Amino acid sequence: MKINEIYNLAIKMGIEVDFRGREGIEKLLKRKKEKYEKLSEKEKEEFDKEALENPYLDSRIYHIAQDTEVKKVLAGIDIEPAELLLAKEIGGIDLIIAHHPLGKGLAHLADVMELQCDVLNMYGVPINVAEGLMKERISEVARGVNVLNQQKTVQAAKILGINLINVHTPADNLAAKFLKDLIEKENPERIEDLMKILKEISEYKEATKFGFGPEISTGSPERRCGKIAITEITGGTEGSPKLYEKMAIASIGTILSMHQSEEYRKEAEAANINVIICGHCSSDSLGMNLFLDELQKREIEIIPCSGLIRISRLDRD
Ligand SMILES: [Fe+2]
């Protein structure tokens, strides 16, 4: 496979499992096109045209030094110049695939957060409430990424002549769908039952050995799950802490989260929402693995690095 084909496959896989459905994505892209058409010539010049085709602006091709047939990939959660040097040291790496966004992808992280409004709405939070509370948080994230050195790794890839892409929200979508399907199938009654199911997932099992397996952040093993919502697995980064109260009103009992900061935990506790922290790198790994398996199917060798717990579901079948 060529780099473009790998990247397009990631975007396609992300769309296929997106909680908004294909129709939802098409509507979103159509709206972006309509907005673009209304821009002045100067504004059009500055507009990121990729937004017209790609619903995941946090996932990008950063550098193609050599457009080769990809046989060997170095894949990791956070790619920094150290990982690029690692690739050089290993040798024969045709492409590096990062999970977390870099460069332009990082600059546009806030763009994918609207997805959270639709996910919350799917679980019963009125769309006006979700959009109202997320608006503030989305602009906070958009401002927050400005302080980062966004181009550092991309620049290093250019200097070293390394092919570099990232796959963020498409992979997180795959993890979210995997968890949703599993939980709907198993339908756990109590938190302890839910924990048992989560701990059977290979990435979480591995993470447990390293000391960062799934944990109950709020709630207790005996409590009933109620409606379980997968609201904190995909959609860029943390939503708004003001949402928990609204989730409780929408009959959500338990949420699965990748990671959660203290302020959010307190708000969830006050709203009597049970929160399970599945684990950050392990959840990121789950989504990446579901994508990387498709590359493995096409005879591409995957070398994991930077926190990626590589589990192949093909090896087991
Ligand atoms: Fe992440």
Mean pLDDT, 10 residues at a time, over the chain (317 residues)? 98 97 95 94 93 95 97 98 98 97 92 92 96 91 88 97 98 98 97 98 97 96 97 89 94 95 94 96 98 98 98 83
State the distance from the centre of ligand 1 to the C-alpha of 17, rounded, in angstroms: 18
Give me the residues near ligand 1 (ion), CB cutoff below 5 Å: 284
Ligand 1 centroid to Cα of residue 282, in Å, is: 9
Residue that has been written with the tokens 């790994």 in this structure: 285
Choose among 135, 145, 147: nearest CA to 240.
Answer: 135
SS3 state at 303: strand
Quick one: pLDDT at residue 315? Answer: 77
pLDDT computed for residue 236 by the predictor: 84
- For 66, which DSSP code? S
The alpha carbon torsion through 44, 45, 48, 50 (nearest 10 deg) reads: 80
Q: Which residues contact 45 (CB under 8 A, 6 or more apart)?
A: none
- What's the pLDDT at 238? 86
Query: Can you give the pLDDT at residue 111?
Result: 87
221 Cα to the center of ligand 1, angstroms: 26
Closest CA to 243 of 217, 209, 270: 270
Closest CA to 224 of 265, 248, 254, 199: 254
Residue 155: its pLDDT value, please? 97
